[in-house]
Structure 1
């Protein structure tokens, strides 16, 4: 259970910022999931432990964490009193191409007081919501500093492996978020046996295809909720059977109901 969880999320009118999330989780643990955005995370109270691409990491208050798009991760509190965090979700194109994703996977935490302070300041401006130019200026400096960290870690040419069966299946799942697709249908599109699809996808992304699809649908539901749509409508738009189905997976992922997610 995640009693006492506090979540505030919104979409600011700033190019490049997909979502802002401020949350306190006294006991909630994130299951493994992915986002289609760069996740820039700071912790204000407590500490967080998480697995990224099958490797364990920790995030304390002095650090900044940068999680790349489409790489599975989870999250849990280090201490029994829980943790408080602030998150920016940035458009996947804002920080550069796929060549930098590997750098973020290898080293997702930075001890950078300047970057930490700039993020704190930007969150304050975004909460106020009335200073677009200041928010854009601060975001530009933050992105520049994040890119510097990422490029500093890139010592070899980016991995040019073939997309492979797993990546092809991910493209199919992404193209069928609301409607869904059966494994047999996917296997015909990808030209691979259903069992091989599941094994390849789970090995590559650290989760089975159905869990990936559910996580992406929760992400889609968040976008619709932030547009002001009611949860009952969002359930169908995001591909859930009904509002109860949406509530169950949304609470599992975020620790709160869809209604609480957008409550002022």
Structure 2
């Protein structure tokens, strides 16, 4: 059946920052964007087509999709059937200590789990169990914490690779400086000149390098970061008009349009969902 598009965000009452999205999509396409937290999802029906890591992927029912923090991606329904999926958004503060423990290391620095599209029954079951507990607002704090640990532990068991700090290339370091500058000035009217100077690069070289490295332009990244910060503010009770003014959007309508391209709902709808 067509015209079944709907989105519902539910925030955990037990695990700080943990949010579940249950979605059914016929005709919506996400802009390329990145989240600051980990995202673990399961395609339930239809097919999910998306770009990530320089590649295009197709996720049929039962497959797991995982995005690391700052991993640029988009998404849309593929084929003729309504796309249904559940997605967990989990802050790094919740995942990284569990992941380090599961890996038997002091921290997760340099660790990169393998692949974005995964076919694993155990990981799928753990994600869906945690999504169920949060969506139905059932179970105790320890139930949800245990379900999250199962998700993270299975992620560690599936392996990965390490990128040691000495091996980081100079362009990576320079671009990280630019990103740090952006995050430190989200509530200010910053320019490309200022960002490129923070990276010690010429403006035009910086723009080309940034887009080649991350898959989006610096302008798109700034908007993306402001939207992510706006989402956190909405979660803490701020109104859409307050957030629009705080993060430099021209007006509430402009903020609504930008927010919806990344989170599929308006800021007010998002705030209403998580306030329940």
Asked if these proteins are the same fold (TM beyond 0.5), I'd say yes
Query: By how many angstroms is 1:39 displaced?
Result: 0.8
The equivalent of 1:113 in structure 2 is 121
Question: What TM-score do you get using the length of structure 2 for normalisation?
Answer: 0.84
Alignment CA distance shift 1:98-1:239 (3 Å) = farther
Q: Distance in 1 between matches of 2:247 and 2:9?
A: 18
Alignment CA distance shift 1:14-1:185 (3 Å) = same
3-state SS, counterpart of residue 209 of structure 2: helix
3-state SS, counterpart of residue 211 of structure 2: helix
3-state SS, counterpart of residue 65 of structure 1: strand
Long gaps (5+) in structure 1: none
Q: How many residues align?
A: 257
Alignment CA distance shift 1:157-1:71 (3 Å) = closer
1:126 to 134, 145, 151: 134
The one-character-per-residue Cα deviations of 1:49-85 (angstroms, maximum 9, x if unpaired) are: 1111211122222111111111211111112343122
The equivalent of 1:136 in structure 2 is 145
The equivalent of 2:184 in structure 1 is 175
Q: Is residue 161 of structure 1 aligned with residue 161 of structure 2?
A: no
Runs (4+) of structure 1 exceeding 6 A deviation are none
3-state SS, counterpart of residue 228 of structure 1: coil
Q: Is residue 99 of structure 1 aligned with residue 110 of structure 2?
A: yes
The equivalent of 2:220 in structure 1 is 211
Question: What TM-score do you get using the length of structure 1 for normalisation?
Answer: 0.88
Contact 1:10 1:226 in 2 (8 A): no
Query: By how many angstroms is 1:114 displaced?
Result: 2.0
The one-character-per-residue Cα deviations of 1:81-126 (angstroms, maximum 9, x if unpaired) are: 431221111222523534223x34xx11222212212222211111
Alignment CA distance shift 1:122-1:210 (3 Å) = same
The equivalent of 1:27 in structure 2 is 27
The two structures, once aligned, show a CA RMSD in angstroms of 2.3
The one-character-per-residue Cα deviations of 1:10-68 (angstroms, maximum 9, x if unpaired) are: 33234464422222221111111111111101122211111112111222221111111
The one-character-per-residue Cα deviations of 1:119-144 (angstroms, maximum 9, x if unpaired) are: 22211111233521211111111111
Q: Distance in 2 between matches of 1:262 and 1:26?
A: 23
